[in-house]
Amino acid sequence: MRAKSNFEKSLLKATYEGDYDPPKEKHVQTLLWALQGHDMETPVDHGFSLMTQRLMTGRWATALKTLVILHRGIEQIGQNFASKLSSLKIPLEDFNDPSERGSAHNPVIREYWGFIHAKAECFGKRGSIMNVESSERSRAIEKMANSDLVKEVSLMMNQLHSLVKLGPACHQALRNYHLKVTQNLTFLVLKDSTPLYRVTALMLDRIVDKFYKLPKQQATIILEQYKKFETCTRMLSQFFEVARHLPYSGLNPPTFVNRPKEVVHSMKRYIEEGEAPEGGEEVYQELGLSPQELEEQRKILEQYEKEQKKKPPPRQEPQRESQREPQKQETQDFLFEPQKPDITAQNPKIDYIMSAYNQSQVPQSQPQQPQMGNPMMMNPMMTGMNPMMNPYMTGMNPMMGMNPFMTYSMNPMMPSSQPMSQPQNNTQQPSQNSSNPFGNQSSSSNPFGNGLI
C-alpha cells in the first residue's frame, strides 16, 4: 500500500473500504496523536493533508470512516485543528457513490460533513462558549454583551440545525443496513447533541430576557433563531428514538423545552409595532421573578382553573318564599306547642273496647265521661285481675283519683256491693284461654265479664 510511516499505515487501516466496521481505537489514537504534533515522523500539516485526501476517493466507506476520525479530533486536538477544518473547502455536499450501500449512505455523508463543518466553525472561533469548561458556561453567558450573545446564538443554532438534519438520513440507513460503522456514527452525533442543546437553550433564555431592549435588527435575528430552535427540539426528540436500537449505552437525552406560543406572538408584535407588552418588564422587577418563572406560575394557575371547571357545582334547587314560610311556622309549632300523641294509633284494641263500652246503658241525666285511652284502665271491674298487673286497681297509684272508672259515684252502673278493689286473698286465677286477653270468658256482646248487666 506504499505506506512509509506509522501514520500512513494507521490511516489506511482505519479508513479501509473492504469492511463496514468502525475504525479501531488504536488506529484513531495514533492519527490524533500525530495531528497534535507528537509524531516526529509526520508533521501536522502533512498529516492533515493526507487525511483530507481520503475524503475524495469516491468510496462511501472510506469517506464515512474519515469523517468519524475528523469528528473526534475537533474536541480532542484543539482550537487550531478546528479552525483548519472549518476553512477546508471540499465539495462533499455533492458526494455520490452509485453502489447499493453507497446510495443508502450518500445522504448520511453529505449531512455529516455539514455538521462537522458547523461544529469546527464553532470550536475554532476564539472566545466561543464551547471552549469554556461546562461548569463555567452559565457564568460566561451572563457576562456576555447583547451583540456577542446574538452572534453566539446564531453559531450554536447553525450547529444544532445541522445535527438534527442527520436524523432522517441515519434512520433510513440503519433501517436498510444494520452496519456497525453507521451505528457508531449515530452514537457520536447523539452524544454531542445533549450538551449542545443545553447550552443553546440557556443562551436563548438569556437573550429572551433582554429581548424588549434589543434593537429591531437584533430582535429579528433572535426571533428567527427562536423559531428554528422550536423546530430543532421536535426533530431532536425524534432522533433520540433511533438510539433505542443502538448497541451502545450512556446516551441521556436532554430535557426538551416547550415554550408557549404566546412568547412568539409577543416578540412578533414588538418587532412590528415597536412596543413592548405593557407592564412586561415592570412585572418581572416587582415580583422578583424571571420571565420563565413568571410563565411557570401562569401555567400552574391555568391548570388549577381547568381542574376547577371540570368539577360540577353542587345542585341547589331554588326555593320560593311561599314554600319557606310554612316550613318555618311548622318548625316553630313543633318546638313550642307539642302535639298530643294519638293513643288510638298506638293500640288498635282500644276501638273494640270503647265500642263495647258505648253499648252500655248510660242515663241521660248523667253526662258521658271522657274516654281514656290507656289500655290498662279499660276494665276496672275485673275481679280476677292481679294487682301487680294493673297498678290502677290499688291505692298505690297516685292517678286513682283521676280515673273516672274507679269510683262508684262516677259510674252508676257499678253495683254498690262490689268494692273498688278486691282483697288479694279473694282474687281468682285468670283463665288460660289465649283468645281472651282480659281473663274472663265473655261473649262478643259483653266483653267486660259477669256482673255488669
* Angstrom distance (rounded) from CA 208 to CA 203: 9
Query: pTM for the full model?
Result: 0.61
Domain that holds residue 295: 132-301
92-128 pLDDT tens trace? 989 999 999 999 999 999 999 999 999 999 999 888 8
CA-to-CA distance for 114 and 293, rounded, in angstroms?
Answer: 37
Q: What are the tens digits of pLDDT across the range 298-311?
A: 677 677 667 666 65
Co-location of 136 and 121 in the same domain: no
Measured on CA atoms in the order 10, 13, 17, 20, is the torsion positive or negative? negative
- Same domain, residue pair 165 and 144: yes
| Neighbour count for residue 320 (Cβ, 10 Å) | 7
Most confident of 150-164, 316-330, 332-346, 361-375: 150-164
| 36: pLDDT strictly greater than 60 | yes
**Domain shared by 140 and 120, yes or no:** no
CATH number, residue 90: 1.25.40.90
Q: Which of 285, 301, 317 is the last residue of a domain?
A: 301
Number of domains in the chain: 2
Structure-block grid coordinates of residue 311: 368539577
Specify the pLDDT at position 259.
Answer: 79
Instruction: For residue 321, give every residue at least 6 positions away whose Cβ sits within 8 Å of its Cβ, in sequence order, or none.
Output: none
